[in-house]
Amino acid sequence: MSVNSDKPDRWKADIAQSVDLYNNWFIRFAPKAYRDTRAETTKTVESALKLTAHLTDISPSVLQRHPSILPMLRMATAPPIARDRLIGLTGVSPNLVKGMEIDKRIPPRMTAVLVEAELEKIGQMIKRLADKDIFPWLENGSKPTKAEIHRAATIVADRLCGAVADPIIRNAQERRQLAAIRQWLEQRGYSYIRIGGGLKFDQMKPGTFSFRVNLPVKLAGGTTSIKIPIDVAVMPLRSEIGELPLLIEAKSAGDFTNTNKRRKEEATKVAQLRNNYGSAVRFILFLCGYFDSGYLGYAAAEGLDWVWEHRINDLAEFGL
The pLDDT tens digits for 27-36 are 888 777 778 8
What is residue 156's three-state secondary structure? helix
Containing structural domain, residue 41: 34-164
Residue 26 lies in a domain: yes
Distance CA 242, CA 300 (A): 27
Q: How confident is the model at residue 197 (pLDDT cuts 50, 70, 90)?
A: low
Domain identity same for 15 and 88: no
Boundary-marking domain end, from 130, 164, 198: 164
Q: What is the 3-state secondary structure (H, E, C) of 52-103?
A: CCCCCCCCHHHHHHCHHHHHHHHCCECCCCCHHHHHHHHCCCHHHHHHHHHH
Distance CA 90, CA 100 (A): 15
Domain identity same for 25 and 170: yes
Q: Residue 260 above 70 pLDDT?
A: no
Question: What pLDDT does 228 receive?
Answer: 84
More confident residue, 156 or 259: 156
Distance CA 228, CA 267 (A): 13
Domain identity same for 203 and 249: yes
Nearest to 286, CA basis, from 187, 185, 168: 185
Which residue(s) pair with 235 in the sheet?
Answer: 208
In this prediction, residues 247-275 reach a mean pLDDT of 81
Domain identity same for 116 and 185: no
Full DSSP string of 173-207: HHHHHHHHHHHHHHTTT-EE---BTTB-GGGPPTT
Domain identity same for 116 and 216: no
Domain identity same for 190 and 314: yes
Domain identity same for 131 and 57: yes
Question: What pLDDT does 183 receive?
Answer: 95
Overall pTM > 0.75: no
Distance CA 296, CA 294 (A): 6
Q: How confident is the model at residue 261 (pLDDT cuts 50, 70, 90)?
A: low
Q: Do 250 and 181 contact (CB within 8 A), yes or no?
A: yes
Full DSSP string of 10-34: GHHHHHHHHHHHHHHHHHHHHHHHH
- If one counts the domains in the chain, the total is 2
Q: Residue 180 above 90 pLDDT?
A: yes
The pLDDT tens digits for 38-65 are 888 888 889 889 999 999 999 999 999 9
Q: How confident is the model at residue 125 (pLDDT cuts 50, 70, 90)?
A: very high
The pLDDT tens digits for 75-113 are 898 888 888 899 999 999 999 999 998 888 899 888 889
